[in-house]
Structure 1
Amino acid sequence: MINTQVATKEMFLADLVNQCSKLEVANRKGSAYGLQDLRDAATEYVLAASFPTVRDEEWRFTDLSSMLQVPFHVPQSYQSTVKLADIVMPVKNRDDLPLRLVFVNGFYAPDLSTVNLPDFYAGNLSNVPEKYRSRITDVLSQHKQQTEVFTALNVAGLADSAVVFVPANVCVEMPIHLLFLTAPGASPTMSQPHCVVIAEPGSNVTLIEDYATLGNVPAFTNAVTEVVVGENAAVNHVRLQREALDAVHIGKSAIVQSRNSRYTCHAISLGGKISRHNLEVFQRGEGTETTLNGLTVAFGEQLSDTHSLIDFNYPHGTSRQLHKCIIGNKARAVFNGKVFVRKAAQLTDAGQLSRNLLLSPRARVDTKPQLEIVADNVKCSHGATVSQLEDDELFYLQSRGLDLERSRYLLIDAFAAEILDKLPILGVAKMLSTCVAVQE
């Protein structure tokens, strides 16, 4: 029985890799970035790797075995049948969001994108100006050494990528909306979006990385995003996962910060039958500032998993992390936050807090904030809380004329507001507040 299960896992990965190998690099310009070599190395890694199971420490709360029963199909080209009118946008007024890049099943959709490029680049990999290509090659080349099977699987099928390149000392006034759509066909679809963001020294940019699905056919999104924050640069990053409830979403965000840079991530997870976000921040210079705000909302039988890592290796670094979960029905949330403070990272100031709200007796959360400190002159703290709606708070609101349902919503909204109010774009916060109310 065990041997059969192992063979099934191996066949599952081998089938996906085989489909990925047939993808053609966009416009055949991938040789400029050495994509084929990267793809070959990633393919070799995936074929030798094991499919994650609950026996693996990093996956012990997240059971992916149901994926093995679904014959996912990898689209080989872009199909222009999608209409943006079918998607609820984070910001409806186009004047507020004139820059939008749309990728459908991992393929760039120029007919759905709205791009204005005065002094920076936002587009796909094959159209990057020559003067920026060497920097992007440096970022992509980091995938020569793989350490995780789903990231390697994404690289094995890397045919194109969203690219945002902000030159030195350029401030992008308007946010850039990166919309990644999974549009299932007649059979379950696997989409592998890839995104590269480079903010050169002294630059400033705000991004909305947005994942959504169309239709009700099971889908699998395997996403990788790489963000490079240059010296004295600032990146404000909203990551919104709002896919369908029969979708599986696995995402990797890898951030590298240079000296005196500022990176803020607002990671919101609403959708997916199974979702997993691996967020890793690596300090590559002193004086970095990192802020991670997370909100997970899960109902029904959803499973939402967040794993984060902040790696300090230089002095005078600062980080603040607040992750909140709202869990109802029979849903389950996982939070595993790691902060590594290495010996050279003296005078680090790091704070981490996990706060969780359970709305039903069968809801469950597994939270594990953790610190690993080698330096001896630091200020670090971490903590976790798990609570329910208080009866006296509900009674107070009802005594003021509200019914029970409205009272519950107000308390849940107040719990989520601590994260949503920090979002850099008001329209996104309003939309997400509505989504939380609808799920409840």
Structure 2
Amino acid sequence: MSEAVNTDYLDCLLKSWSTKSNEPLSWLHQLRARAIDHVSAQRLPTKRDEDWRFTDISALARLSYQSAQPHDDLQAQDIEHLHIKEAKNSLVFVDGYYSAQLSTIIDSAALEIGNLPELLLTHGTILESHLGQYAKFDNNVFAALNTAFLRDCALIIVPKNTVIEEPVHLLFIATQKEVTSYPRCLIIGESGSEITFIEDYVSLQDAAYVTNSLTEISLSANAHASHIRIQRESTQAYHMANCAVSIAHGSNYQSVSISLGAQISRYDLDVQLIAEAAECAIDGLALISGSQLADTHTCIDHMKPNGTSRQQHKCIVNDRAHAVFNGKIIVRPHAQQTNSSQSSRNLLLSKTAQVDTKPQLEIFADDVKCAHGATVGQLDQEEIFYLESRGLSETTARSLLTYAFGAEIINRIPVISLRQQLEQTVLTQTKNNK
């Protein structure tokens, strides 16, 4: 990294932490303290750093946003339109702080769910062995900042051989302007368990602010998790996110990530297949316009034999927007008989739209089946002509083709009401494309 973290920005962010941290030196306090040390030793990335060469966040370094403060102004009716009807359990966080009055937890012995301070009292040992163990912050200033400010955290523990039929909704709402919030999630799937959860970032106003989120997911042997991530924040906001996933023997992780909002968004997904016969399927869609920038970096690391991974990432880019995708697949020397595929497909809707895509394969084993590919293009004129010949206008034809391009990813979301809602969003955003 090449440029120091803006001193005023960092001082403002750390001030609230230092004035409130009077708890004893527990393992959690020590985790925060280590993160503070790493923040002080790191620098904000610039375009001179290889992993950030297409994403300019210099504007972020000039901000002096202080940490968001808790407040309870929201009422249940204010967020009723954000509820997902299939989700009986929901954890709601407002500007990074847990809201018990807005959350809904169905008492059940089948699922441990709640906020960090509550579950710390009853599940301290298991939390200590997982929290902060997967998302490394020694060379990631945003992960270090999130860990330094770790107080509230959405926690889900799925016990051994337990199948949770209904999805769990983790809702993160931004309401304040010119602040920084630090959402955090930890999902632990014990052996033989199964769960679907939705990580949902929304804004109630079109304002400038910073969201710095971090999610950790641990799947024990033969566990299954379906992870739906929706980012639909204010188009003036900055959204910096990290997610780290550990997949054990015979486990399966499925992810669908949809990026719609934020002026500048960055999502780093690190998936480690740490044991034999682990599987993952990673799908993503960025739909952006105006002057938005959406950057997705993923790494799928095959560490043991007989692993399987599939990835498809799509970008729909209009106006002067800029999409970035960098997808790396690593096959370690002992990860023989790995089967992995990766596809990056990108649709430009204007002459000024831009996409930078870089699929990568790093293979250190000889008995593998791996493939990757990338395409960048515009709508097919022959397809537009065909639809026009069937009576559709050019505008409608373009909208329909654009919708179909994105719908392939959205259709992989297993929650019907959310899928329908996102389909409508795509239709609305594409109907006026020229």
TM-score (ref. length: structure 2) = 0.94
User: 2:87 touches 2:168 (CA, 8 Å); kept in 1?
Assistant: yes
Q: Look up the equivalent residue of 2:146 and give its one-letter code.
A: N
| One-letter amino acid matched to 1:365 | V
Deviation at 1:91, TM superposition (A): 5.3
Deviations 1:269-299 (A, max 9, x none): 0000000000000111100010001001110
| 2:12–2:67 Cα contact (<8 Å) kept | no
Q: Where does 1:204-243 land on structure 2 (aligned, <5 Å)?
A: 204-243=194-233
* Stretch moving more, 299-308 or 9-18: 9-18
For 1:108-257, what aligned pairs fall within 5 Å after superposition?
Answer: 108-118=98-108, 119-128=110-119, 132-142=123-133, 146-185=138-177, 188-257=178-247
* 1:24–1:429 distance in 2 versus 1, CA, 3 Å: farther
Over 3 Å counting, the alpha-carbon distance change for 1:19 and 1:257 in structure 2 is same
RMSD: 1.9
- How do 1:304-383 residues align onto structure 2 when only pairs under 5 Å count? 304-383=294-373
Q: CA deviation at 1:40?
A: 1.1
Q: Which runs of 5+ in 1 are unaligned?
A: none
Match of 1:388 among 363, 378, 383: 378
Identical-residue share of aligned pairs (%): 42
Question: Which residue of 262, 266, 275 maps to 2:265?
Answer: 275
1:82 matched to 2:63? The reply is: no
Q: Distance in 1 between matches of 2:62 and 2:79?
A: 29
Residues 117 and 364 of structure 1, relative CA distance in 2, 3 Å threshold: same
Aligned to 2:57: 64
What's the CA shift for 1:209? 0.3
Distance 1:223 1:235 in 2: 20
Q: Secondary structure at the match of 1:128?
A: helix
The CA distance in 2 between the partners of 1:410 and 1:90, in whole Å, is: 26
Partners of 2:5 and 2:240 lie apart in 1 by 20
Aligned to 1:426: 416
Per the alignment, in what secondary structure is the counterpart of residue 335 of structure 2? coil
> Structure 1 residues 100, 68: CA separation in 2 closer, same or farther (over 3 Å shift)?
same
The residue type paired with residue 176 of structure 1 is V
Please give the TM-score of this superposition, normalised by the length of structure 1: 0.93
Return the alpha-carbon distance in structure 2 between the equivalents of residues 340 and 86 of structure 1.
45
Asked if structure 2 preserves the Cα contact closer than 8 Å seen for 1:14 and 1:47, the reply is no
Structure 1, residues 68-94: CA drift from partner, whole Å, max 9, x if none?
333212124x2111245444756553x
1:265 equivalent to 2:255? Answer yes
* Unmatched tracts of structure 2, length 5 or more: none
Which range moved further: 36-45 or 356-365?
A: 36-45
Q: Give the secondary structure class of the aligned counterpart of 2:296.
A: strand
Counterpart for residue 107 of structure 1: 97
Residue aligning to 2:42 = 49
